Amino acid sequence: MDHLTLIRAATQVLLDHVDELTELDSAIGDGDHGLNMKRGALAIQARLDDWRDLSLNEALKAAGTTCMATIGGSSGPVFGTLLVTLAKELPAEPKPVELGAAVAAGIAALTRLGKAEVGQKTLLDVLDPVQRLLGAGGDGDDVAARVRQCALDSAAATASMNASRGRASFLGDRALGHVDPGSRSTALIIAAICDSLQPRR
């Protein structure tokens, strides 16, 4: 599976879920998360042909800088920083534990960027459990399936969290019962990549 195929899958899932992400963000945010992620996804897809000769790390860095340049609001710096950090940390053909270490570096970079922490109803609440699962090691065909389910379950769990970062923090208890849109988009991206990596039966 080449990395451009994975990037295409990750961006396409955002395009397929624009309405859902917009609805989630309308409940506890500005309502623009879906359209912002759509803008970034389309910008990345438009450049994929130009990235055919790039390595995994080069393509991730290019995707990250594209996010920073095209995605509005806080999502551009957040997803851009995550991708650029992964580009720096990942080996060419990462094993799960190495991917976990790269995600941990991404979490550290995002913590420095936004001063957010795990448990504050952000995408960190998806990245952290995924990182811990990957960091535990183990190979086999079920790794992608377990990571996929972990990401989706972790995003769903943000509905029970109080928000202490971003616009949702102003809502207090009214944010309860609503899934964090950034967490949901992160989980969708991870799930799409895992689906692409799982062997066809």
Domain extents in the chain: 3-197
pLDDT of 74 higher than 80:
yes
pTM above 0.85, yes or no: yes
**pLDDT confidence band for 200 (50 / 70 / 90):** low
Right CATH number for 3-197 from 3.40.720.10, 3.50.50.60, 1.10.3470.10, 1.25.40.340? Answer: 1.25.40.340
Mean pLDDT across the chain, nearest whole number?
Answer: 90
pLDDT digits (tens, 9 = 90+) for 5-48: 999 999 999 999 999 999 999 887 888 999 999 999 999 999 99
Assess contact for 68 and 60: CB atoms under 8 A.
no
Average pLDDT over residues 179-199: 93
pLDDT digits (tens, 9 = 90+) for 159-172: 988 766 555 454 44
Instruction: Tell me what pLDDT residue 201 has.
Output: 46
Average pLDDT over residues 69-74: 90
More confident residue, 137 or 183: 183
